[in-house]
Structure 1
C-alpha cells in the first residue's frame, strides 16, 4: 500500500486543523503581521522621552553638510563701467553644521514638544578639497549696496554720497575682494567709530544697519557684516511640533512658531492667503506610511515661509527603496496671477529700473523677512524667468543639481537623503546720486548659493535595516513558511482521504 491504514476520522480531524491553519495564516498575512510591523514602526518613530528617536531629535548624531558656492565676478571693473557681469562658480566650500535642540516644555494633552535650536559650523578642509576658507572671492559689496538702497527709499542718498569711504573705510567700492571665512561667518568691519565731518551721517546710516540680522555690533562699537553668523549667535525661534504619540501621522508637524500660527511678514491683501501660515516640518521628522500622493511642506525661518515638495520618482539609496519628493517649476511662482492679491509681492525692494515691482516668476523679494533688499531663487535661476539668467554670463541651471529634494523610506518615514538649495541675489543698478554706481548695468546679480543637506550614513542605514527590514524579512519567512506548511499538510491529508474513498468503491 502507498498509504498506511489510518482511521479516517483521525485524518479528517487533522484535515480540519490544517485547514484552520491556512485560514489563520491568511489572517496573519493580511492583518496581524502588518499590524505588528506597523506598531513596531510607530514605537520607534514617536517622540517618546528617553527613546533613541528622541535623542536623535535633540541632537543629530552626525553633522549636516553645509555647502557654499560663490559667483565670483570675473570682470568687476568692466561691470562698474556698464558691462554685463561675467560669473564663475567657485566652490563648494563645505562646512559641518551641528544642530542641537533644547526642549523647553512638553504638552501631553496637545501631544506637542516645544524647543529652540542652535547651530554651529566647522569648516571641513578634507571635504572642501582644493578650496580653503582663506580663499578670496570678488563679489558685490552687499552691506554697502543694501544701505544705499535703503537710504534711497527714504531720499537720503545725497547725504551719504560723500561719506561712503567714512562708513566703509576698508572698502567703499561696488565690488570687493574678501576672504570666504570673513564674508560667511567672521565678518567684514564697517561703521568704525572715529571723529570726522561725516559723523552724524555715519551714525544715522549705522543705526539703520545695526538692526539687521546679518550685522553684529562689536565691543568697540563698530559693525560687522556676514551672511550666516546670525545662525551661530542665536536660535531661530521657538518651535512647537507634534510628537506623533496620539496620532503618528502628525509626527513632526509644526503647530506654532514663536507661539503663533502665522508670521506676519507677508502682505495680507488676500484673506485666504497661505503665505504667512506656519506649517509643515522643520525638515528633520516625517511620519511613517508615506504614499506617492503625499505632499510635504518644509518650513524655513531663513526665508520666513514654507515650500512644498511633491513626489518625483522612486529610487534606491544604498540598497533601500525610497520615494523622492522635490520642488518643481511652480514652487516659486506668484501665489496668484493678480498683483494686488499676490501676498509675496510686497514691493519693498525696488527692481532693476528703480521702481516698485513684483519680481518675475522664480525670484522672491526677501526684504520682508530679512530686513535687507535681497532676493531668493533656486541656484542658477533654475525655473526662473529668462530675464534673470540673460542679465549675466556664466549660469547653467540643472534640475538634478539645483532643485531641493527629499528622499524618504516610505514605510518608516526615515529621511535617507535631503538637500535644501537656495540662491541669494541682489539687484544691481545705478543708485540715485551715488557716483560709484552711475554706470552699473541693470540686472539681478547672483551672489552665492547654498546646499544644506543630510545623507544617511552606512551606520544608520544598518540601524534602519535592523529596525524594520530585518524584522519584515523574519516575519515574511515565518508567515510564508506557516502558510506553505499548512497547505502541504492539508493537501496530503486531503489526498489520503480521497485515496481511501476511491479504494472503498
Structure 2
C-alpha cells in the first residue's frame, strides 16, 4: 500500500532520515573533513624524498638577510689616554644575503624516522644599500683584549715584548683598532706571520698556538707556495666553507615527521650525542637546562602548533637552546589569518636559579674589569665556553640587561621593536613566515698593570659593545602564494562545502519538522 506523501508515518520517516542526514553531515563536516585536511597537511609537511617539502628542507629556496652594525669609537685617544667614556656611534647596517643548504644527508635508522645532515652557509654582500664592505671602521680591539685575558701573567709579559712583530703590521697592537668591514667579518685580519718574527718571538708565537686552538674566530693558515704560517681572525668566517677548523655547526639528526607530525624537525642528536656539553658545572643546580638537547634547527617546525606551547630552537652559534613564547595567536600577516607570533622574554639572559652562582650558565670564564670572576647573568651572557674567547653577549643596546651596562653610553637606547627577537609562524602547517634573530657582541676593556704601555692606567674600563647582528627573513610572495594554493584555498573550499552541506541538511530537517508539525496541527483541528 502506497503511503500518502503527507501521512504521519511518511513525515516521521522523512524526519528520521533528515535527522540521520543532519547528524551525518555534522560528523562529516566537523570530523571527517578536518581529518582529511590534517592528513593532507601531514603528507605535505613530512620529510619524504621527492616532495617539495624535502627540496625546501635541503636548500632554503630564498636567502636570509645577515646585517651587522658596528659601534664606532669616535674618541679613541681620549678613551685610552684620558679615561673618557667611549663615544659610540652605531654604523649603518652592512648586509649580506645568506643562503643555507643541508648536505650529505643520510638515513641511519628508518625505524626511528630520522635524517642526518650538516649545514652549509654562503654569504654575498648586498650592494643595494649605502654601505660597502671595504669601509674602514674603528672599534674596540677584541683580539687584543681576548689575548690578554687568555694568557697568564708571564705569557702576557712575553706577548707584550713581541707585540709589534706579532700584531703591529695588522694594526691589532692597540686597544682600539681600525679595520675594513670585510676583513673583520669574513675575509680575516692576518697577523703573527712566521717570516716576521725573530727566534725569541717565534717561541712566543708557538706558545700562543695552544691558547688559540679552541678560539672559534681565529685560525692558523699556511701558504702553500712559501710555507709561511699566520693567524687569521674573522668574526663569522666559521660559518663559511672557507673555515679551516672543524665547523662548529656540527652534525644534526632530526625527526622526519613521517610517523609523528608533532615531532617533525625536532633534533634527536647533535654530533652523535643527546646532550649539550658546553655549559654547566658541578655546583650548578639546573644543569639539565644547559645539557638537554631540545628544539629544532630553526629552519623547520611541526604542523598544528598549540597555543600554549613555546617554540624551542637549538642555536649552535651560542651553543644553547633559546625559547620563544607566544605573544599573539591571531595575527593577520599579509592576508593570512590566525598566524602565531613568538618572542623571547626579559629572562632570556638572566639566571634561572635563586642564587646566580648556582645557575648552569654561570661559567665565570671571563674576568670582569676588576679581574674577578663574574657570572654575567643580569641580561648578559659569558660566551667564552662556546666561542673559546672572552666575549660577552647581550641583546642589542643591552635590551633587558641591568642598567649598569648601558648607562654610560648616551647613544645606546634599547627598544624592543628594534632590538628584540621574534618569529611569526603559520600554526597549521608550521610554516615560518617572518623572523628576526638579534644579538650583540661585547668585550671587556680592562687595564693590565704589568703592560701599561699597551693598556695605560688612564684607560677607560668597562664592558664595551663591538657590534650587533641581525639575521632576518620574510617569506617571499611566491612561497606565500604556494602556501595559499596548497593549504588555505583547500581549507576555504572545505569550509564552504562544510557549511553548505550542513545548511542543506538543516533545511531538509527543518522542512520535515514543519510537515510533521503541520500534519499534527490539521489532525487536531479536524478532530
TM-score class, shorter-chain normalisation, is over 0.9
Counterpart CA distance in 2 for 1:272 and 1:238 is 26
The aligned counterpart of 2:402 is 385
Counterpart CA distance in 2 for 1:104 and 1:396 is 47
1:362-418 Cα distance to aligned partner (Å, 9 max, x none): 111111111111111111110011111024331111111211111111222111111
- Note the C-alpha offset of 1:489: 2.4
Counterpart CA distance in 2 for 1:230 and 1:245 is 33
1:338 matched to 2:390? The reply is no
Counterpart CA distance in 1 for 2:300 and 2:377 is 33
Counterpart CA distance in 2 for 1:155 and 1:362 is 34
The aligned counterpart of 1:368 is 385
The aligned counterpart of 1:447 is 466
Counterpart CA distance in 2 for 1:312 and 1:501 is 57
Counterpart CA distance in 1 for 2:280 and 2:154 is 24
1:122 matched to 2:124? The reply is yes
Counterpart CA distance in 1 for 2:372 and 2:325 is 35
Structure 1 residues 221 and 480: alpha-carbon distance in aligned structure 2, compared to 1, 3 A threshold: same
Counterpart CA distance in 2 for 1:362 and 1:105 is 40
Counterpart CA distance in 1 for 2:517 and 2:308 is 51
The aligned counterpart of 1:290 is 305
The aligned counterpart of 2:275 is 262
Counterpart CA distance in 2 for 1:497 and 1:149 is 92
Counterpart CA distance in 2 for 1:24 and 1:476 is 16
SS at the partner of 2:307?
Answer: coil
The aligned counterpart of 1:177 is 178
CA contact (8 A) 2:367 2:374 kept: yes
Q: Which of 185, 203, 207 is 1:204 aligned to?
A: 207
CA contact (8 A) 2:285 2:360 kept: no
Q: Which of 243, 248, 251 is 1:238 aligned to?
A: 251
Structure 1 residues 348 and 501: alpha-carbon distance in aligned structure 2, compared to 1, 3 A threshold: closer
The aligned counterpart of 2:111 is 109
1:201-223 Cα distance to aligned partner (Å, 9 max, x none): 23322453355221232223111
Counterpart CA distance in 2 for 1:408 and 1:70 is 30
- Note the C-alpha offset of 1:10: 4.9
Residue range with higher mean Cα deviation, 469-478 or 6-15:
6-15
The aligned counterpart of 1:60 is 60
SS at the partner of 1:261?
Answer: coil
The aligned counterpart of 1:165 is 164
SS at the partner of 1:441?
Answer: coil
Residue range with higher mean Cα deviation, 260-269 or 373-382:
260-269
SS at the partner of 1:437?
Answer: coil
TM-score (norm 1): 0.94
SS at the partner of 2:117?
Answer: strand
1:437 matched to 2:455? The reply is yes
CA contact (8 A) 2:296 2:314 kept: yes
Counterpart CA distance in 2 for 1:175 and 1:96 is 29
The aligned counterpart of 1:481 is 500
CA contact (8 A) 2:349 2:377 kept: no
1:228 matched to 2:236? The reply is yes
Counterpart CA distance in 2 for 1:247 and 1:21 is 34
- Note the C-alpha offset of 1:44: 1.2
1:49-100 Cα distance to aligned partner (Å, 9 max, x none): 2221111111100111111111111111111121101111112111111111
Counterpart CA distance in 1 for 2:461 and 2:291 is 31
Q: Which of 327, 332, 338 is 1:312 aligned to?
A: 327
Counterpart CA distance in 2 for 1:45 and 1:120 is 26
Long gaps (5+) in structure 1: none
1:421-475 Cα distance to aligned partner (Å, 9 max, x none): 1111100111232222122222101111111122111111111112221111111
The aligned counterpart of 2:24 is 24
Structure 1 residues 494 and 262: alpha-carbon distance in aligned structure 2, compared to 1, 3 A threshold: closer
CA contact (8 A) 1:95 1:122 kept: yes
Structure 1 residues 391 and 33: alpha-carbon distance in aligned structure 2, compared to 1, 3 A threshold: same
Counterpart CA distance in 2 for 1:120 and 1:433 is 43
CA contact (8 A) 2:365 2:384 kept: yes
- Note the C-alpha offset of 1:13: 3.9
- Note the C-alpha offset of 1:271: 5.9
Long gaps (5+) in structure 2: none
Residue range with higher mean Cα deviation, 436-445 or 300-309:
436-445
SS at the partner of 1:324?
Answer: strand
- Note the C-alpha offset of 1:14: 3.7
The aligned counterpart of 2:38 is 38
SS at the partner of 1:130?
Answer: coil
1:106-143 Cα distance to aligned partner (Å, 9 max, x none): 422112111111111011111xx111112111112222
Structure 1 residues 206 and 16: alpha-carbon distance in aligned structure 2, compared to 1, 3 A threshold: same
1:248-292 Cα distance to aligned partner (Å, 9 max, x none): 111111111111122222133236422122211111111122122
Counterpart CA distance in 2 for 1:344 and 1:149 is 20
Aligned alpha-carbon RMSD (Å): 1.8
CA contact (8 A) 1:360 1:385 kept: no
1:282-316 Cα distance to aligned partner (Å, 9 max, x none): 11111122122111221111111111111112422
The aligned counterpart of 1:323 is 340
Counterpart CA distance in 2 for 1:465 and 1:70 is 39
- Note the C-alpha offset of 1:193: 1.4
CA contact (8 A) 1:84 1:393 kept: no
Structure 1 residues 334 and 271: alpha-carbon distance in aligned structure 2, compared to 1, 3 A threshold: closer
Counterpart CA distance in 2 for 1:336 and 1:15 is 66
Residue range with higher mean Cα deviation, 184-193 or 387-396:
387-396
